[in-house]
Amino acid sequence: MFKILHKNKRARRGEFVTVHGTIQTPVFMNVGTLAAIKGAVSAMDLKEIGCQVELSNTYHLHLRPGDEVIKELGGLRSFMNWDGPVLTDSGGFQVFSLAGLRKIKEEGVSFRSHIDGHEIFMGPEESMRIQSNLASTIAMAFDECVENPAPYEYVKESCARTYRWLKRCREEMERLNALPDTINKSQLLFGINQGGTYDDLRIEHMKLIAGLDLPGYAIGGLAVGESHEEMYHILDMVEPYAPEDRPRYLMGVGTPANIIESVARGIDFFDCVMASRNARHGFIFTRHGTMNMMNEKYARDTLPLDPDCRCPTCRNYTRAYIRHLFKAGEMLAMRLCVLHNLYFYNELTARIRRAIEEDRFDTFREENVEKLSRRL
């Protein structure tokens, strides 16, 4: 299913074939938490900005409109009118970050809805059933995401439990994929590596989950408190133990520089809300560095956000217009900037793919890591 087309040292140019389309890697997945991209961006728009994979959140959709409603309406892809691949997270991260008053047991987690406070129980089986109802292309394993730093003993126990949960996830998904009324009977399960910032726990856990022969592996519990250097160090430690012939997904990461540095460490899949969230606050990514569109200096600037960009926003609007829209409180400001930033991220991974294909990823990395972080 996953084929590595070319390598530059540890950087991989791959292809992941799914029932909903082939994904060219490295890939940046575009986040549509509640089956819509925040900033008034639709699935129709995603087509125009080079999105390959849409990512939605299990916890949020379970609460609103409810995964059973979505199943009845033909699954998430049909519901939001997106015909490409979709990845759903497991709900684990939100349960541990958003929801209140949680109690972890071997069976799963009890917590309160962040909307109305009602008590919900979610364990590996519940997460798989919800994701099966959503009928995503790729489902993520239900895990515990521990904030960094956390005590060694706690992380160790948590890893052991996450591994037991992973086996239950796999079993439940096999059962669900065999049911006659399951929408996507080829749903794929990705396992998630945990272990906090402890090298030995990370490595041991990765070895364990690699043994389950899953179609893909994620590295979770990073970008949750530790420094970039610690994150890169963990990637360096864990990568040799991640199956070479399976895609690797670094969850919730990150800046353009983070993505380039992680591709250099053998990562293939990314997702991050930063692209769209920053856009909604007027913070723009370009090939030359970052810009704050609230800045007075753009008030009469007739250039597009990035003169080298071919996104719908840059092909049609000036910095002066976009700054005006923000200052005037017009929602259109957010939409135009979200379109631009997502296009930028999608295009960034396309440029990374070409650089790997053409054996010049090292040069690309040198030229861009510092430049893309520069404040203009």
Whether residue 37 contacts residue 335, with contact meaning beta carbons closer than 8 Å, is answered with: no
In the bound complex, what is the minimum distance in angstroms from residue 338's beta carbon to a copy of itself? 10
Whether residue 253 contacts residue 339, with contact meaning beta carbons closer than 8 Å, is answered with: no
- Give residues 270-299 in contact with a copy of itself (rule: CB under 8 A): 299
User: How many CA atoms lie within 13 Å of 324's alpha carbon, on the beta-carbon side?
Assistant: 9
In the bound complex, what is the minimum distance in angstroms from residue 64's beta carbon to a copy of itself? 5
Asked if 113 interacts with a copy of itself (CB under 8 A), we say: no
The stretch near a copy of itself (CB under 8 A) out of 10-18, 91-99, 162-170, 320-328 is 320-328
Whether residue 5 contacts residue 170, with contact meaning beta carbons closer than 8 Å, is answered with: no
In the bound complex, what is the minimum distance in angstroms from residue 113's beta carbon to a copy of itself? 13
In the bound complex, what is the minimum distance in angstroms from residue 111's beta carbon to a copy of itself? 19
Asked if 305 interacts with a copy of itself (CB under 8 A), we say: no
Query: From residue 68 to residue 107, what is the string marking binding to a copy of itself with x (rule CB under 8 A)?
Result: -x--xx-----xxx--------------------------
Beta strands in the chain (DSSP E): 2-8, 11-18, 21-25, 27-31, 54-56, 86-88, 100-104, 109-112, 119-122, 138-140, 188-193, 216-219, 248-250, 269-271, 283-286, 289-292
Asked if 178 interacts with a copy of itself (CB under 8 A), we say: no
Query: From residue 332 to residue 351, what is the string marking binding to a copy of itself with x (rule CB under 8 A)?
Result: xxxxx---------------
Identity of the residue, 35 or 242, whose beta carbon is nearer to a copy of itself in the bound complex: 35
Residues present in the chain in total: 376
One-character DSSP codes across 229-298: HHHHHHHHHHGGGS-TTS-EEETT---HHHHHHHHTTT--EEE-SHHHHHHHTTEEEETTEEEETT-GGG
- Give residues 13-72 in contact with a copy of itself (rule: CB under 8 A): 34-44, 60, 64-65, 69, 72
Distance, in Å, from the CA atom of 56 to the CA atom of 79, rounded to the nearest integer, reads 12
The answer to whether residue 271 is catalytic is yes
The answer to whether residue 67 is catalytic is no
- Interface residues with a copy of itself (CB under 8 A)? 34-44, 60, 64-65, 69, 72-73, 79-81, 299-300, 302, 312, 316-318, 320-321, 323-325, 327-328, 330-336
